[in-house]
């Protein structure tokens, strides 16, 4: 049974600290909401159109002419990616709306959809618990991760400007977990996608990419060990491209305090990406 929300306590307390962690996460996404990005919310959100029935392009700030909102599926409620905009989502995360978890799992269970006919990683579902988090953190990290679909034959280093003006110097592509190891995710191929460094961890400060909400979930479970979190990560592809354009993530806690759908962009400021080959080029 989902536990009722706990009222804010007066003065410092663990409850207040936990809520602050999640509130800070929402504040970080607040810019996207203020700029009206919810206009592209998925089917099922009041006032929205089915994304699969729409087709448009939107230019990104780095000069990319934009990518179409995928209309590959005509099923109502089908997920589709949107183009990354630096102005709207400088941390590579877009707050879409509330979570949509059609098939809730029992606490502690993880379901990996596996690979499709093109060898691409599918959806991952989980009901994350404190025990899963603790075990995931304690488990030794694999020395060598398998190559997800689209992994380039030669990964190259790049210099990418971060939201705070600093410059990241390092590998452009990461083997990115759909369900973080620290939340109980496996190091198997069925849990990995070829993600840019920005999609994976952003500036590596807990404020961008997949790491943004992963950090917030960890903080929440540390404060509320009896809470479980329904989690669904769905990589979104264009046509037969082996590299996903974004990952749609639904997060819903049993206490009702976390209830978000987010889109995490597989992009990098200043670079144009070929999602067929993994090649990338600087855009001036």
Q: pLDDT (tens digit, 9 = 90+) per residue, 127-150?
A: 999 999 999 999 988 788 999 999
Residue among 232, 234, 228 at smallest CA distance from 256: 228
Structure tokens, 171: 């590998």
User: Would you tell me which CATH number, out of the four given (1.10.3720.10, 3.40.570.10, 2.60.120.380, 3.40.50.1970), belongs to the domain 14-282?
Assistant: 3.40.570.10
SS percent in the chain: helix, strand, coil, step 5: 20, 25, 55
Q: pLDDT (tens digit, 9 = 90+) per residue, 178-211?
A: 999 999 999 999 999 999 999 999 999 988 999 9
Q: pLDDT (tens digit, 9 = 90+) per residue, 2-46?
A: 443 322 222 334 455 555 655 665 565 543 333 333 333 332 222
261 within 8 A of 250, measured Cβ to Cβ: yes
Query: What is the pLDDT at residue 19?
Result: 55
Q: How large is the C-alpha radius of gyration of the chain?
A: 18
Query: What is the pLDDT at residue 22?
Result: 59
Give the global pTM.
Answer: 0.77
Q: pLDDT (tens digit, 9 = 90+) per residue, 101-114?
A: 999 999 999 999 99
Average pLDDT, the chain: 80
Q: pLDDT (tens digit, 9 = 90+) per residue, 49-86?
A: 222 222 222 333 333 333 333 333 333 357 899 999 99
């Amino acid at each position: 049974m989902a536990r009722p929300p706990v009222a804010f306590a007066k003065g410092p307390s663990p409850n207040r600290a936990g809520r602050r962690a999640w509130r800070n996460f929402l504040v970080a996404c607040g810019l996207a909401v203020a700029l009206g990005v919810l206009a592209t919310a998925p089917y099922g959100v009041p006032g929205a159109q089915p994304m699969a029935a729409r087709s448009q392009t939107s230019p990104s700030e780095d000069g990319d002419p934009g990518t179409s909102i995928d209309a590959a599926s005509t099923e109502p409620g089908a997920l589709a990616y949107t183009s990354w905009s630096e102005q709207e989502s400088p941390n590579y995360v877009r707050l879409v709306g509330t979570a949509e978890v059609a098939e809730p799992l029992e606490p502690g269970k993880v379901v990996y959809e596996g690979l499709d006919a093109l060898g691409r990683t599918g959806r991952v579902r989980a009901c994350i618990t404190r025990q899963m988090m603790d075990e995931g953190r304690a488990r030794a990290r694999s020395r060598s991760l398998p190559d997800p679909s689209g992994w380039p034959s030669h990964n190259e280093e790049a210099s990418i400007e971060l939201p705070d003006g600093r410059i990241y110097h390092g590998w452009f592509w990461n083997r990115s977990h759909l369900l973080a190891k620290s939340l109980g995710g496996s190091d198997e191929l069925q849990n990995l996608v070829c993600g840019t460094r920005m999609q994976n961890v952003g500036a590596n400060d807990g404020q961008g990419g997949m790491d943004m909400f992963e950090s917030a979930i960890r903080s929440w479970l540390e404060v509320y060990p009896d809470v479980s979190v329904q989690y669904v990560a769905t990589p979104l592809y264009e046509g037969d491209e082996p590299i996903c354009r974004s990952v749609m993530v639904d997060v819903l806690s049993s206490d009702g305090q976390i209830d978000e759908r987010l889109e995490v962009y597989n992009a990098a400021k200043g670079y144009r990406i070929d999602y067929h080959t993994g090649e990338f080029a600087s855009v001036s």
